[in-house]
Amino acid sequence: MKMCVRAGAAALAFVATVVAALAPTACTTRYSYKSASEATRSQAGAGFALADDASTSALPSVRSPVTQTWIIARAPQRGDAGLGGVDRPGTGSLVDANVGSDGLPTRAFPLEATDVDATLTGAVASVDVTQRFRNPYADTIEAAYVFPLPHDAAVSDFVLSIGDRTIRGVIRDRAEAEKLYAEARAAGHVASLLTEERPNIFMEKVANIEPGASIDVTVTYFSMIDYEDGWFEWRLPLVVGPRFNPPSVPPSKAIGAVGVGDSARSGTGTSIEYLPNGSTTGNRVAIDVAIDAGVPIREIVSPSHAVRTIRDGTSAARVSLEPGDGVPNRDFVLRYSVAAESTQFGLVSSRSASGEGGHFALTVYPPATLKERRRSPVDLVFVVDRSGSMSGKPLAQVKAAIHAALDRMQPGDRFEIVDFGSKANSLGRGLTPYTSESVRAARAYVDALNADGGTMVLEGLNRALSFATDEGRVCYLVFLTDGFVSNEKEIIGALHKTLGPRRVFSFGIGSSANWYLLEGMANAGRGAVADISGTGDGASDAAPTMATFLERVSHPAMQDLSVAFEGATVDEVWPRRAGDLLVGRPVTVFGRYREGDSSARCVVRGWIGGERVELAENVTFARSATTPALERIWARAKIAQLADDSTWQPNSAVAIANEIRTIALEHGISSPFTAFVAVDGSRVTRGSDRRTIVQPVPMPEGVRYETTVDER
């Protein structure tokens, strides 16, 4: 009996040991061990040097107790852990697939929610985007998520939140940040990395998310708010559309559009996994916008989403997304009109935190006399994207837009229609006078267009450029596209090299257009962008947009703008070449002013129909850091200019890249050559992170999965 009791007690003790060893307190064992070794190391390194005249104070040496657990290790083997082979998204795939009550597949993925907190003050937007990752799997994972931000966003902060703890990431050279992240991941630390794949496409990775653990990642950016025709417009992209990769794009620069779990097979540098139409993940977006316009607000609308608006006095308001409209499958657009006084210039300035002068954003409003000038005949070449991604509603919007334009054109105008998918076609062989016959033929041609094939924008551009133009008449290339391509730089560079005196207007089609490409094309072509992305049937969205467009192009613009400040030293004004001032559309430039400059006379010169015009007004620079974000917005504008230069100066690519890197590091903002990295070194996670879960995204509203996603 005694022996029996003894044996039973020993067995119980053993089981208790097992339970204790496998319980979370196992970490204690580990850290006790670590403490012992660290104690030795710290003793060896006692007496840390101090600068200045500080006194040295070392706390007494205390050796941590060593537990009686003894530990056996096999020497690490090749392939146990490390960087190789586990760093690529999609090297593993865990898909928790279930079928919901509606019969559609419902899947659990790491991205649980996205909270957007925006403050729109005057013309500057300050936005926090918080993504909440939660590991729904039984193993520790790495989560990878590709998401969009505005192409002009100066991303300046990156914060990890783990429970009550917050950890700020730092900006680093991109290669260095990627290496640090990989090392932290291999060492078992929670870490995160934010890289810029395009100015409007970012990749976020979060390593070592333990089962059931929640980690928030907050990205903060600043940008300017668009202003046209008395309306401010703030746009927040929520999903990246599926990109077409032309043969000219090397695989490392390509952006693949693949089905769930297919990233590893895409063979592209960046992959986005799309859910079939009708499927979503659990990720829902909550948006809260605080508006402080500084002037009375007349009206607030969102053409894209259902919102709830609460006014706070005459010039402030709070707008939030209705909870039932949080599927991130289209851009969020908020517009508000203001009762602004008629001025020539709008200046926002702020003294630099370093005390070396300051930065400013100058908005030049078009003179009212532009609209009063006589209408001129216009030459329009419609360049229509009829690729696979335009199938369905987007192509319907394009057709409606061209019909609306044809409705409003007048005798004396000329036009042509080019359409492109994998190859380009055209209605005729050159600009055709606007007649009832030509319009009838054009309508029939447009109605017969079908969406199919790739998105060879350059094919369409080359066809459009092949048409002869007349001296004395401005030819406008009117691109109607969703811009879902990955060779943006190639297209913008081609426009710089070949456009000549033509102008480019680009219309964003669909709910999630590629505004980086569209803006880049318009800037290279000294034109403007417009949005046809409403929730209507196409015709209702297109008609007012086309009316505004024709109003703009049929009146002369103020061209070849130059900006000068008399009485102040101003330099580094970006963009280097301001666009044309069109009816209703202002132009904004960013620059620096020297310390001590407080007021100046701003003079903008240009040409209207062969007549030299000068606009002048006294302005005052801020003497305090009233809008510190301006410095980073200015830096982002400079980077955008340099990136634009690199599209048509390939021989200077290395020098330009170095300059962009330097600017981004000094101002702490993202760029193609810098990245944010954040590491929580305080603990090593349980389990080893050997799987990467790529967060899939829903198809943009109106885009068809079957015509855009590469399924193998």
Partner 1 sequence: MHEASLRAQGEVPADIDAVIRARISTAFAARAGSDAARGLRLAGSDQERPAPRRPSLAWTRRVAIAAALVVAATVAWLAARPGFGNVERVAAHATLVQAVRAVDSIASRGEDRAVAIAHPGVQALLASIVALPAPSFEHPVGAARFVVYDIYLDPSQPVAGWTCDLSLPGQLVGIEGGDGPFSQPAAYDPRALAGGRVILATVAGGASASSRLRVASVTVRVEGSGEPRVTRATSVGDGGAAAPARVEIIERGTPYAAAALTNRGLS
569 binds partner 1, rule: CB under 8 A: no
Residues 6+ apart with CB under 8 A from 592: 357, 358, 359, 360, 570, 571, 572, 634
Amino acid, res. 521: M
Report if residue 175 touches partner 1, rule: CB under 8 A.
Answer: no
Question: In the complex with partner 1, which residue's Cβ is closer, 37 or 618?
Answer: 37
Under the binding rule (CB under 8 A), the answer on residue 97 touching partner 1 is: no
Residues 6+ apart with CB under 8 A from 381: 415, 416, 417, 418, 431, 464, 467, 475, 476, 477, 478
Of the candidates 243, 414, 667, 704, which one interacts with partner 1 according to CB under 8 A? 667
184 vs 249, which CB is nearer to partner 1?
184
- Nearest approach in angstroms of CB 52 to partner 1 is 6
Residue of 491, 529, 490 whose CA lies nearest to 509: 529
Considering the rule CB under 8 A, would residue 120 count as an interface residue with partner 1?
Answer: no
**CB of 558: closest distance to partner 1 in angstroms?**
38
> How far is it, in rounded angstroms, from Cα 488 to Cα 457?
9
Binding to partner 1 by residue 100, rule CB under 8 A? no
The interface region with partner 1, picked from 438-446, 596-604, 611-619, 682-690 by CB under 8 A, is 682-690
C-beta closer to partner 1: residue 18 or 339 = 18
CB 149 to partner 1: min, Å: 19
Residue 49's H or E segment, with its range, is none
Contact positions with partner 1 (CB under 8 A) in 190-219: 191
* Residue choice 65, 77, 448, 472 for contact with partner 1 (CB under 8 A): 77
Whether 532 and 503 have beta carbons less than 8 Å apart is answered as no
Q: Residues 152, 680, 701, 710: which binds partner 1 (CB under 8 A)? A: 680
167 makes contact with partner 1 (CB under 8 A)? yes
Q: Does residue 95 touch partner 1 according to CB under 8 A?
A: no
Q: Is 14 one of the binding residues for partner 1 (CB under 8 A)? A: yes
Query: One-letter amino acid identity for 85?
Result: G
- Say how far apart CA 321 and CA 311 lie, in whole Å: 15
x/- string (CB under 8 A) for partner 1, residues 124-163?
--------------xxx------------------xx---
User: 36 by DSSP, 3-state: which?
Assistant: helix
Among 106, 623, 687, 707, which residue sits at the site for partner 1 (rule: CB under 8 A)?
687
Residues in contact with partner 1, total (CB under 8 A)?
101
DSSP state of 296: -
**157: exposed, middle or buried (Cβ count in 10 Å: 0-12, 13-18, 19+):** middle
Q: Is the dihedral of CA 644, 647, 651, 654 positive or negative?
A: positive
The least CB distance from residue 625 to partner 1, in Å, is 13
- Closest distance of CB 156 from partner 1, Å: 9
Give the nearest distance from C-beta 649 to partner 1 in angstroms.
25
Q: Is 65 in the site for partner 1 (CB under 8 A)?
A: no
Q: Considering only residues 339 through 378, tell me which ones interact with partner 1, judged by CB under 8 A.
A: 354
Q: How far is the CB of 318 from partner 1 (least distance, A)?
A: 23
Determine, following the binding rule CB under 8 A, whether residue 625 of this chain makes contact with partner 1. no
In this structure, the strands spanning 528-532 and 503-509 are parallel
Choosing from 65, 75, 341, 355, the residue that interacts with partner 1 (CB under 8 A) is: 75
Find the shortest distance in angstroms from Cβ 463 to partner 1: 46
Peptide bond into 60 cis (omega under 30): no
| φ, ψ (nearest 5 deg) of residue 639 | -60, -40
Does the footprint of partner 1 cover residue 471 (CB under 8 A)?
A: no
Q: Are 559 and 608 in contact (CB under 8 A)?
A: yes
Q: Which residues are 636's β-sheet partners?
A: none
Secondary structure of 484-509 in the HEC alphabet?
CECCHHHHHHHHHHHCCCCEEEEEEE
Nearest to 381 by CA among 246, 534, 496, 499: 499
Which of 115-123, 124-132, 180-188, 316-324 is the region at the interface with partner 1 (rule: CB under 8 A)? Answer: 180-188
Q: In terms of CB distance, is 134 or 172 closer to partner 1?
A: 172
Report if residue 677 touches partner 1, rule: CB under 8 A. Answer: yes
The only residue of 40, 314, 569, 599 in contact with partner 1, by rule CB under 8 A: 40
29 binds partner 1 per the rule CB under 8 A: yes
Told to check if 481 binds partner 1 by CB under 8 A, we report no
Q: How far is the CB of 672 from partner 1 (least distance, A)?
A: 17
Which two three-digit tokens encode residue 177? 């940040």
CA 272 to chain centre: 14
Q: What residues contact residue 565 under an 8 Å CB cut-off, 6+ apart?
A: 593, 600, 601, 602, 603, 619
SS3 91: coil
658 near partner 1, judged by CB under 8 A: no
In the complex, what is the shortest distance from the CB of residue 631 to partner 1, in angstroms, rounded to a whole number?
Answer: 11
The interface with partner 1 within residues 287-326 (CB under 8 A) comprises none
Q: Helix or strand or coil: residue 516?
A: helix
190-198 and 691-694 strand pairing: unpaired
Instruction: Please report which helix (H) or strand (E) contains residue 179, including its range.
Output: helix 174-186
Is position 189 an interface residue for partner 1 (rule: CB under 8 A)?
Answer: yes
- Please choose, out of 103-111, 403-411, 524-532, 662-670, the segment that lies near partner 1 by the rule CB under 8 A: 662-670
Instruction: Kindly state the smallest distance separating residue 376's Cβ from partner 1, in Å.
Output: 49
Stretch that binds partner 1, among 34-42, 251-259, 331-339, 575-583 (CB under 8 A): 34-42
| Cα gap 246→368, rounded to integer Å | 44
Stretch that binds partner 1, among 164-172, 452-460, 516-524, 536-544 (CB under 8 A): 164-172
Task: Render 70-87 in DSSP notation, one character per residue.
Answer: ----PPPPTTSSSSTTT-
- In degrees to the nearest 10, what's the CA dihedral of 397, 399, 401, 403? -150
- 3-state DSSP assignment of residue 186: helix
Which position among 293, 499, 678, 694 is part of the footprint of partner 1 (CB under 8 A)? 678
Helix (H) or strand (E) holding 669: none
> Which of the residues 44 through 63 are near partner 1 (CB under 8 A)?
45-46, 48-52, 54-62
567 lines the binding site for partner 1 (CB under 8 A): no
Backbone angles phi, psi at 404, to 5 degrees: -65, -40
Q: Of the candidates 90, 109, 163, 176, which one interacts with partner 1 according to CB under 8 A? A: 176
Find tokens 């009375």 and name the residue. 296
Report the distance separating Cα 689 and Cα 133, nearest Å.
Answer: 15
Does residue 186 belong to the site contacting partner 1 (CB under 8 A)?
Answer: yes
Name which position in 183, 292, 572, 645 contacts partner 1 (CB under 8 A): 183
Q: Which residue has the tokens 């280097």?
A: 576
Indicate the residue type of 288. D
Nearer to partner 1 by C-beta: 126 or 512? Answer: 126
By C-beta, is 134 or 243 nearer to partner 1?
A: 134
| Stretch 238-267 residues interacting with partner 1 (CB under 8 A) | none
User: What is the C-alpha to C-alpha distance for residues 578 and 561, in angstroms, rounded to an integer?
Assistant: 6
Q: How far apart are CA 618 and CA 565, in angstroms?
A: 9
Nearest approach in angstroms of CB 675 to partner 1 is 12
Question: Tokens in use for 564?
Answer: 């000068």
CB of 55 to partner 1, least distance (A): 6
Residue 27 as a binder of partner 1 (CB under 8 A): the answer is: yes
